């Protein structure tokens, strides 16, 4: 099951100045020289330094005697520059993270958040800055603040699908699954039912609510929209598995592995089926252990759920000592909510018994 991550949160599209209201206002008004200078600097602004210069020019112009209308325009201009600088810093943070420099990425994300906060202070109606601040709050795991910002965007711009989707993602993470379903459904409606991510996320929410038929419908739609995605097939395979439709589940896991031979998720789901299926026609002792080991080896960092799968495969192969050791390692890193389930499986392995799925229960994935 998915977890919230920066890559899942959707950012706002960049402003296009030539189409924005700032230029229209500038043309319609006889701006004082200091204000016009600040505006003209925005026309070629593309770097952090450029945006900083726009902000400085706005501050200098604000110190002069201006009409209330000119001061309001400067606030909007400054808000634009803060928001653009925040977006630029966010992009640099993503590059730093890709390069493995987490410290630099965190520093840039913090500065970006400060810029978005300043942008909203200068112009509370700038909904894209508000949305960007919500994204920054989500990345920083300040989930309640993120929800408040995304809700604010929805009030200002109800047709912006990303705000609905992102609020759904945060609500999903907080366990507010029914509320998340409503947000995903609205994102799907606004995309004219073409949003693969929203269908997938809504499928995850249905899955956690044990509404497996509905999750299957959404995963199936995601497969139709993106038939080359290994994850889409693995998701649908999990739904099939939870409904006891073993043959269809196995076919989807094979398809996922064919599409992405390095998909740890697909190997893990396939191993779980081959190790724990109550129908022995779909169990495979050797392949289950191989697939489970492959899934673990493909991970960048250990995951207790994958260790749980490996332990189930080892127990299915009669390797109970290995299974007990592997599951003990899973228990050491598992959240409190999953400990009772894992300990029950450990009792089985201590009694030299493999774990089998209950046909009426989820595959726990």
Using the 3D structure, point to which of 140, 163, 190 is the last residue of a domain. 140
272-311: pLDDT as tens digits:
999 999 999 999 999 999 999 999 999 988 999 999 999 9
Is 172 among the domain residues? Answer: no
- 250 in any annotated domain: no
- Exposed, middle or buried by CB within 10 Å (0-12, 13-18, 19+), for 274? buried
Cα 171 from Cα 82, distance rounded (Å): 28
In DSSP notation, 153-209 reads HHHH-TT-HHHHHHHHHHHHHTT-HHHHHHHHHHHHHHTTS--HHHHHHHHHHHHHT
Residue 78 within any structural domain of the chain: yes
Which pTM was predicted?
0.86
Contact 313, 274 (CB under 8 A): yes
Domain boundary among 79, 108, 140: 140
**CATH for 330:** 1.25.40.10
Number of domains the chain is built from? 2
**Whole-angstrom Cα distance, residue 234 to residue 224?**
14
At 266 the pLDDT is 97
Let me know if residue 243 belongs to a domain: no
Residue 283 resides in a domain: yes
Q: How far apart are CA 260 and CA 190, in angstroms?
A: 31
- Assess whether 136 and 1 both reside in one domain: yes
Structural domain boundaries, residue 100: 1-140
Residue pair 237/249 in contact (Cβ under 8 Å)? The answer is yes
> Does residue 188 lie in a domain region?
no
Q: Tell me whether residue 230 is in a domain.
A: no
Residues 6+ away with beta carbon under 8 Å from 191: 161, 198
CATH number at residue 59: 1.25.40
- Picking from 74, 106, 140, the residue at the C-terminal end of a domain is 140
Asked if 270 and 254 count as a contact pair (C-beta separation under 8 A), the reply is yes
**16-41 tens-digit pLDDT:** 333 346 554 555 457 899 999 999 99
Same domain, 136 and 271: no
Which ranges of the chain have pLDDT less than 50? 1-7, 13-20, 24, 28, 362-365
Residue 128 falls inside a structural domain: yes
């Amino acid at each position: 099951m998915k977890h919230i991550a920066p890559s899942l949160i959707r950012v706002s599209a960049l402003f296009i100045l030539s189409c924005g209201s700032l230029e229209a206002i500038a043309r319609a008004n006889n701006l004082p020289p200091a204000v016009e200078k600040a505006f003209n600097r925005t026309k070629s602004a593309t770097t952090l330094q450029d945006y900083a210069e726009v902000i400085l020019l706005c501050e200098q112009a604000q110190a002069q005697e201006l009409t209330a209308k000119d001061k309001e325009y400067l606030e909007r201009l400054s808000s634009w520059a803060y928001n653009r600088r925040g977006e630029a810093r966010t992009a640099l943070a993503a590059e730093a993270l890709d390069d493995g420099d987490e410290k630099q990425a965190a520093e840039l994300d913090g500065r970006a958040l400060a810029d978005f906060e300043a942008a909203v202070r200068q112009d509370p109606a700038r909904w894209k800055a508000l949305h960007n601040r919500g994204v920054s709050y989500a990345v920083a795991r300040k989930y309640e603040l993120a929800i408040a910002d995304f809700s604010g965007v929805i009030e200002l711009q109800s047709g912006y699908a990303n705000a609905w989707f992102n609020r759904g993602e945060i609500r999903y993470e907080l366990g507010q699954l029914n509320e998340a379903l409503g947000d995903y459904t609205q994102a799907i409606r606004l995309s004219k039912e073409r949003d693969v991510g929203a269908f997938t996320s809504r499928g995850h929410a249905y899955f956690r609510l044990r509404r497996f038929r509905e999750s299957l419908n959404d995963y199936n739609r995601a497969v139709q929209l993106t038939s080359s995605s290994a994850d889409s097939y693995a998701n649908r395979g999990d739904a099939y598995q939870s409904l006891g439709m073993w043959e269809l589940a196995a076919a989807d896991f094979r398809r996922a592995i064919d599409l992405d031979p390095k998909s740890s998720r697909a190997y893990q789901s396939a191993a779980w089926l081959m190790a724990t299926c109550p129908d022995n026609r779909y169990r495979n002792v050797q392949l289950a252990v191989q697939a489970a080991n492959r899934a673990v080896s493909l991970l960048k960092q250990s995951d207790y759920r994958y260790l749980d799968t490996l332990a189930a495969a080892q127990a299915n192969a009669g390797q109970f000592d290995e299974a007990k050791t592997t599951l003990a390692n899973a228990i050491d890193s598992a959240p409190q909510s999953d400990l009772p389930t894992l300990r029950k499986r450990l009792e089985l392995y201590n009694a030299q018994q493999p774990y089998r799925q209950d046909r009426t229960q989820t595959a726990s994935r």
